[in-house]
Amino acid sequence: MTAPEVARSLDAFVTKTITPEPRDGNPPVRIAETGAGMLNSIGLANPGRERFLAEVLPRLRELGLPLWVSVGGFSASDYAATCSLLEDVTIELNLSCPNVDEAPEGAAEIVAACRESTQLPLYAKLSPSAWNIAEHARAAESAGADGLSLVNTLRGLALGGDLRPVLGSGTGGYSGPALKPVALAAVYACANAVDLPIVGIGGVCTGLDALELIAAGASAVGLGTILFADPESPARIRGELAAETASRNLGHPLAARGLALQSSRETVV
């Protein structure tokens, strides 16, 4: 099993985040398992925009899948410049990596700058740490985002037996099963607040997890940590999703979209 084989089993592939300059990423140790998830402090390791466009992107095209390029940076102009160089992809703006200092500009300003620089579909990937994520979703929508990716990892810390941080960089981004309720809450809140397609991401391990995110308002579901543990999980999750859908007489998974919102619309922040 190789990474390209895993990618080919998906309906679309999201790249690691690309920054203007190459980045080695954070010092080892860069991953740590916890009771219900994993912490990573990869730190946006990537070959930089120039090499990505010249060497990596052409190879990814060979996968024959719709590509989503995750764009990162340290200023709105960084993001916008990368967006202006991309063609024939969907752009996901990583506005919320917990492993680098927050971008100095607000998410809405970055989305607006990117909107001016490209006609490609723009998805804003938001942090679940926001006090009121729906407000950020509305700001991204007003700034011209075409969709939302919900959610990025949460910042977390793991200590070893010596009571020192396990990760070389101290804290990291927390993903895996523990993130599912957090993602569900974010999708649920934002689906009520905006009229944008939402990719639900966070702790999906089973077809039922995927169906729950759709019920909370997502129109697509992303896999992350489960692909590391079980690279053959896409086929399994697809099968389970079909079975969960059929057992509820829904016809199609997207028939469940927003079901969770219907009885409690008034109570959502």
Partner 1 sequence: MRRRLRRVAGSESFGPYTLLRIERDGLETGVPGQFFMLEAPGRVLPRPMSLCLATRAELAFLIDPVGPGTRMLCTLEPGAELHLLGPLGIGFDLAVERPLLVGGGIGIAPLPFLSQRLARSGGSPPALLGFRSEWHAEAAVLVPNAEVCIEPAFVTDLLPDEPHDVLACGPEPMLEALRLLVPPAQLAWEAPMACGFGACYGCAVEIDGELKRLCVEGPVLAGAA
Q: Which residues bind partner 1 (CB under 8 A)?
A: 1-3, 6, 16, 24-25, 27-34, 36-38, 40, 42, 45, 176-177, 225, 227-232
Residue whose CB is less far from partner 1, 33 or 50? 33
Residue whose CB is less far from partner 1, 16 or 248? 16
- Between CA 152 and CA 59 the distance in angstroms is 26
Minimal distance in Å, beta carbon 130 to partner 1?
Answer: 25
Q: What SS3 class is residue 193? A: helix
Which long-range contacts (C-beta less than 8 Å, at least 24 apart) are formed by 27-35? 27/168, 27/169, 28/168, 29/166, 29/167, 29/168, 30/167, 30/168, 30/169, 30/172, 31/167, 31/172, 32/158, 32/166, 32/167, 32/172, 34/156, 34/158, 34/174, 34/178, 35/178
Q: How many other CB atoms sit within 10 Å of the CB of residue 100?
A: 19
Residue whose CB is less far from partner 1, 48 or 106? 48
| 205 catalytic residue (yes or no) | no
- Between CA 111 and CA 30 the distance in angstroms is 29
Minimal distance in Å, beta carbon 65 to partner 1?
Answer: 15
Residue whose CB is less far from partner 1, 36 or 254? 36
Residue whose CB is less far from partner 1, 229 or 254? 229
At position 53, the amino acid (one-letter code) is L
Minimal distance in Å, beta carbon 204 to partner 1?
Answer: 13
Minimal distance in Å, beta carbon 184 to partner 1?
Answer: 18
Q: Which of 97, 114, 190, 205 is catalytic?
A: 97
Nearest residue to 179 (alpha-carbon basis) of 158, 154, 216, 209 = 154
Minimal distance in Å, beta carbon 39 to partner 1?
Answer: 10
What residues act catalytically?
97
